[in-house]
Structure 1
Amino acid sequence: MLGAGGTASLRRPPWIEAPAVACTVVLLGVAFCVVYPLLLVVLESFQVAPPGQPARYGLDGWRAAFAEPLLRAALLNTFKVTLARQVVSLALAVLIAWLIARTDLPGRNWIEFAFWAAFFLPTLTVTLSWILLLDPDYGLINTGLAKLPVIGKGPFDIYSFWGIVWIHVITGSLTVKVILLTPAFRNMNAAFEEASRVAGAGTTRTALSITIPVMAPVVLSVFLLGTMVSLQTFEVEQVLGVPFRFFVFSTMIYDLLVTRVPRYDAATALAVLVLAAMLPLVFTQQWLTRGRRYTTITGQFQSRRHRLGRWRWPAFALMLALVLIVLGVPLVFAVLGTFMKLFGFFNIPDPWTLKNWTTVLADELFLRSLWNTVVLAGSTAVAAVLVHSLIAYIVVRTRYVGRRALDLISWLPFTVPGIILGLALLWLFLDVGVLRPLYGTMAALVIAGLVSGMPLGVQIIKSGLMQLGGDLEEASRVAGASWWATYRRIVLRLMAPTLVAVAMITFVGAARNIGNIALLATSANRPLSILQLDYIAQRKFEEAMVVACIIMVISLGGALVARLLGLRSNLG
């Protein structure tokens, strides 16, 4: 008895076991990089002292924010743009993903790659390309239609509410949803649908009782992620909305930061309001997906494609038209813009030149920024796969007591506009003495990329893990395989396409990131995206289009590598 009691007394408590300690270290590290900067945002909303002066707190910033006459209009505009782009893009993305993953659509692999490539196009580049087509004065489509006697004047105006929605839908809103939903539809076990049909259920009842419930966590995550991104979009509204005085929350915050006397208190007060609006979405996602089983890949996995029959070629025509809109048009006109003497004017004598390319390629700043971009994007992608997969694995595959808190924290970077998150990280680096030497280095930009990409990366990997049945891992362990062998031969192979997707989405996000790193970039670590912004600020739109095309080449090269690796993983 004494021996047993003595042995029991020497046994380590479960809360100091190595796995729990490791999970706690991850939780504390993520909380420090995410929660602490957000707390700084809240604290700074009450800071009323001018920059460089001793701290003094009050409510002046909140009064200024609520006294802003455009606040109510900006709130309404933000809601309208978010609702319009999410409703249109989600319905269309579900249809596209289903056609690619679950039907015998011709050319479906290349169509899927086209949406990958379109997602990697910088939003600012796509916007400038469509301005060349839909500008009310010199847009090619409008000038062409104006020559028709029936029309007389170009009917399209990209500087409008629906112009903004159009750009959002054909860029990130649609393409990222297709990227995220297609693997989920592909991994869905066809045996569920087949069993429903054998039981006498029709197509509609099968979709309502089987397909939609099984796909619910992925669709919900994609919808919530899209909504959060919509609430903080900036570039499109800044370029297309300002000319007709159309402001949203993010552009209002930016306006407060770039005034002659920046109102950091008022800007951060508005950011806190965005945070308050985002948190219910995060809690809703946590509540709806908790305690439900969404496994779709098991030892009895079956994959079967639906035959489209007479709708096969009409569906292909629809997909081809969408590919031309989201990829073909931006590519063609982005390239044309780099050779224009005067951006947007096709009707001047001899409008084409190579001077823009020679000017940019001969600039030493460009060569340095190109190298910085490659290092930043590659480092962030590798780090994201390691860190984000570790967070997702702890949340989904362990019983760690703090896993739900870790899951909640991983959503938080999407709750503030990118420019404010960058400002919060700047305060983090300057406020913590140990991190102060990182300011101005590439490590600071990598950390910013990791934090800003955390919600998307973690949720993608989580969705894949939730669809990966534990019976395959259990069978491997019963057969005598070690944990590492099981992870390498079972989990890693099945998750490889998802991990590649996370790596490449992070790669392109880091290569074109502006808002999160604008305040952290210096002359020593400036990437191409910031160089492009500098060209635009100097009204050098032609040189900016050259830089945008080079960013596109880097992104499309990464998309091609990801696609080849994904196909190889699927074949394996």
Structure 2
Amino acid sequence: MNRNLLPIRFPITKNPLAILFWVVVGFTILLILYPISFLLFGSIWSTRPGREGNLTLVNYIDVFSDPHTLTLLINSSTYALGSALLAVTIATGLAFITTRTDAPFRNYFRYVPILPIILPGMVDNLAWIYIFRPNTGLVNVWLRDTFGFSRDFVLFNIYSMPGMIWVMGISLVPLAYLVISASFYSMDPALEESGRIAGMRLRTIVRKITIPLMMPAILSVFFLVFIIAFESFETPAMIGLPAGIDVFMSNIYQAIAWSIPPNYGLATANASILLVVTVTLIYLYRRATKRAEKFQIITGRGYQPRLMSLGRWKYFGTGILVGYVILHIGIVFSMVFILSLQPFWDPRALFSRITFEHYAAILGRSSISRALINSIIVSAITATVVVIMAALVSYISRKSKFKRRGFLEGVGMLPLAFPGFVIGLGFLWMFLTLPIASLVYGTLGVFVLAFLVKYLPHGIRFTSGAVMQIHNDLEESSAIAGAAWTRTVRKVTMPLLRPAMLAGWVYVFVVSFRELSSVIFLITARNQVLSTVLWDLFQNGSVELLAAASILLTIFLWSVVVIAMVIFRLKLR
């Protein structure tokens, strides 16, 4: 008997696991593929959603015949490539210092680079905009006033492609660091030790041994952050649009939000092209991770990772860690906090008119309170349903004997290739086309559905590894003792999965709470959530209110994480 699979296999009408399998398969396929099919349908429909029309390829003809489409592709690729290179380079350096060297105080910095991962996307953008705006950016104004430069002098213009790359790249460092540092920490140092014995210098060991061994992990992370940057919305919208730099995401947004009437055909055609690009990138990412076994460096032999001596450079290594903390945490938080205390922005009078009126205004606004309650409800429901579905998908895929069990997890992971914009636009077409679905439009249920599609793969990532760690002997012993399958799952399997499910619940709650791109096309006056209210504040020019709300939101999300870590003893990684 294969010990890796459950021995239970009965006719489908008698086996509850078989019934559950087909229910989960059907629901997962319906949830994920139905809105995407409406998106593809919308790209070949001649009129707006829900209107009479006919099938046509005119939307694709318009897109491919427009020279601007090539510009969108070049800008999107340049932006994503630069952001990924910056993020992976910084993350690799930080991970190497904290896990493989003897830099002083490195242990205190081991988890610090992960902290900004919880920041809403608008916080990073807002901070760097008010630091490096050409005319009123804090740094540019200070340099002109201090050194007498002309009014045209600009050290760095945030409204540029390098500005977009800097903001997006630095915001992706925590995610890249999280993955790369784990790989560094797990790497067997035997080859590095051999190089040291052979008389190699530290620089040679790193260049010829450490980096080549880490290349599969680095390459897989590069593809991952490239995809995230390619499909991001906040930076292209907040920095790219004022700079006149269009990418696919901002072009789709303008086609619907700025065009009168909304050009749904152009938006869906561009979204379909974007979907093809991201699916291709996901394929390359999976290929990169599958080829990693050629570089396997963790063996069955016990080992204790040894630290590399940096010699006289060890304090320089600590300085790099301190510099990153100041740059990405200290400066960003300080800038947004200072902005929140200004009655209006004047970089020459930051501390002469400090006021907390924006915090009072935010806390006193009924629209903010309603949006906060809506966000809590939506995120809590989303997190709960995601971890339950993820646990079911992982359990059936890993523990059943069905021939097509792997197909279920593959379908569940498919939304990794769907940008949030694409998901939201697909649901918009579905809600406006189907009379029954239109009953849900304008309620909080539309956000829950969009978030379920977007974050189901994330939930599967949390539960899949935990399911694989549960040895079949435990369930087989329960079955031998006479327990029904449902009782075995409830009394044996679920308690063992609880830590992973709790960690997944907290993660999905936090990231869905601040998610904007998936729901920006689904909002109405009746179903505002906090992320959409913050976006409205930015569009209306109420940046001081936005800064105050962002600080409060960040404090709230970190409180959720800290409370969960204390109560449920969750770990950062």
Q: Same fold (TM over 0.5)?
A: yes
Q: In the superposition, relative to structure 1, how do residues 249 and 533 fare at CA in structure 2: closer, same or farther (>3 Å)?
A: same
Decide whether the 8 Å contact of 1:117 with 1:559 is kept in 2. Answer: no
Q: Please report how far the alpha carbon of residue 206 of structure 1 lies from its aligned counterpart in structure 2 after TM superposition.
A: 10
2 CA distance for matches of 1:110 and 1:503? Answer: 27
Distance 1:397 1:185 in 2: 31
**Counterpart residue number, 2:228:** 229
Q: Which moved more, 1:330-339 or 1:399-408?
A: 399-408
| Contact 1:132-1:139 at 8 Å conserved across structures | yes
1:194: Cα distance to partner? 4.2
Q: 1:114 aligns with which of 101, 105, 112?
A: 112
What is the deviation of 1:251?
0.8
Going from structure 1 to structure 2, the CA distance change for 1:567 and 1:230 (only over 3 Å counts) comes to same
Give 2:552's aligned residue.
Answer: 550
CA distance in 2 between counterparts of 1:299 and 1:436 reads 56
User: Relative to structure 1, is the Cα distance of residues 385 and 325 closer, same or farther in structure 2, using a 3 angstrom cutoff?
Assistant: farther
- 3-state secondary structure, aligned to 2:72: helix
2:110 and 2:317 mapped to 1: Cα distance? 14
Classify 1:370/1:95 alpha carbon distance in 2 versus 1 (closer, same or farther; 3 Å).
Answer: same
TM alignment of 1:162-561, pairs within 5 A: 162-171=162-171, 173-186=172-185, 188=186, 192-194=188-190, 216=216, 219=218, 221-258=220-257, 259-287=259-287, 289=289, 303-310=304-311, 311-343=313-345, 345-347=347-349, 350-395=352-397, 400-429=402-431, 436-459=438-461, 462=464, 464=465, 473=471, 487=493, 492=497, 496=499, 502-561=504-563
Structure 2 distance, partners of 1:474, 1:295, is 27
Q: Please give the alpha-carbon distance, in whole angstroms, between the structure 2 residues aligned to 1:214 and 1:114.
A: 22
Letter of the structure 2 residue corresponding to residue 25 of structure 1: V
Question: C-alpha displacement at 1:542, in angstroms?
Answer: 1.7
Note the residue ranges of structure 2 that are not aligned, 5 or more in a row.
1-8, 481-487
8 A contact 1:225–1:456 mirrored in 2: no
Q: Is it true that 1:156 corresponds to 2:156 in the alignment?
A: yes
Aligned to 1:43: 41
Whole-Å separation in 2 of the counterparts to 1:457 and 1:333: 34
Task: Quote the offset at 1:38 in angstroms.
Answer: 0.9
- The Cα of 1:131 is off from its aligned counterpart by 1.5
Q: Distance in 2 between matches of 1:207 and 1:399?
A: 46
Quick one: which amino acid aligns to residue 176 of structure 2?
A: K
Cα distance change of structure 1 residues 181 and 381 upon mapping to structure 2, 3 Å threshold = farther
The CA distance in 2 between the partners of 1:348 and 1:197, in whole Å, is 53
How many angstroms apart in 1 are the aligned matches of 2:290 and 2:316?
40
Distance 1:93 1:395 in 2: 33
Taking structure 1 as reference, are residues 144 and 539 closer, same or farther at Cα in structure 2, changes over 3 Å only? closer
TM-score, normalised to structure 1, is: 0.82
Secondary structure of the residue aligned to 2:226 is: helix
Name the TM-score, length of structure 2 as normaliser. 0.82
Match of 2:85 among 68, 84, 87: 87
Take 1:247 and 1:346, find their aligned partners in 2: how far apart are those partners?
Answer: 32
Report the CA distance shift for 1:570/1:90 in structure 2 as closer, same or farther (over 3 A): closer
Question: CA 1:526 to 1:425, structure 2 compared with 1: closer, same or farther past 3 Å?
Answer: same
Question: 1:84: how far off?
Answer: 1.1
Whole-angstrom CA distance in 1 between matches of 2:322 and 2:71: 38
- State the alpha-carbon separation in 2 of the partners of residues 53 and 481 from structure 1: 56
**What are the Cα deviations for residues 178-214 of structure 1, in whole angstroms up to 9, with x where unaligned?**
233444544x3x6x44488589898988998899778
Which range moves more in the overlay, 286-295 or 394-403? Answer: 286-295
Residue 157 of structure 1 aligns to which amino acid in structure 2? N
Structure 1 residue 561, shift from structure 2 partner:
3.7
Q: 1:33 to 1:381 in 2, by over 3 A?
A: same
Moved more, 291-300 or 392-401: 291-300
For residue 64 of structure 2, the aligned residue among 26, 51, 66 is 66
1:280 positional shift: 2.3
Residue by residue over 1:161-182, the C-alpha shift from the partner in whole angstroms, topping out at 9 and shown as x without a partner, is 11111001111x2111223344
Contact 1:232 1:417 (8 Å CA) reproduced: yes
CA distance in 2, matches of 1:17, 1:208: 55
Paired with 2:18 and 2:369, the residues of 1 have a C-alpha distance of: 46
2:75 to 68, 74, 77: 77
Match of 1:54 among 52, 60, 63: 52
Contact 1:528 1:547 in 2 (8 A): no
1:252, distance to aligned residue in structure 2 (A):
1.1
Residues 408/105 of structure 1: CA separation in 2 closer, same or farther (3 Å cut): farther
Instruction: Answer yes or no: is the 8 Å Cα contact 1:440–1:521 preserved in 2.
Output: yes
Aligned-pair CA distance for 1:422? 0.9
Sequence identity of aligned pairs in percent?
22
- CA–CA separation in structure 2 for the residues paired with 1:537 and 1:531: 10
Q: Is the 8 A contact 1:90 1:177 kept in 2?
A: yes
Go from structure 1 to structure 2 and tell me whether the alpha carbon gap of 1:492 and 1:348 turns closer, same or farther (over 3 Å shift). closer
Determine the C-alpha separation between the residues in 1 that align with 2:134 and 2:340. Answer: 21
Structure 1: which amino acid aligns with 2:508? Answer: T
What is the rounded CA distance, in whole Å, between the counterparts of 1:465 and 1:224 in structure 2?
Answer: 25
Mapped to 2, the partners of 1:508 and 1:380 lie a distance apart of 11
C-alpha distance 460-260 of structure 1, shift in aligned 2 (>3 A): same
Distance 1:14 1:337 in 2: 62
**Distance (whole Å) between structure 2 residues aligned to residue 564 and residue 349 of structure 1:** 37
- Structure 2 residue matching 1:247: 3-state secondary structure: coil
One-letter code aligned to 1:335 = F
**Superposition deviation, residue 43 in structure 1:** 0.6
Q: Deviations over 1:503-544 (max 9, x none)?
A: 343222211111211233344432211111222232222222
Aligned length: 548
Tell me if 1:123 matches 2:145: no
The residue that corresponds to 1:26 in the other structure is 24
Q: Which moved more, 1:343-352 or 1:241-250?
A: 343-352
SS in 1 for 2:261: coil
What one-letter code is carried by the residue in structure 1 that aligns with 2:340? T
Displacement of 1:248 in angstroms is: 0.7
Alpha-carbon separation, structure 2, partners of 1:565 and 1:109: 24
Q: Does the CA contact (< 8 Å) of 1:500 and 1:565 recur in 2?
A: no
Between the aligned partners of 1:501 and 1:255, the Cα distance in structure 2 is: 37
Give the Å deviation of 1:270: 0.9
- Name structure 1 gaps, 5 residues minimum: 1-10
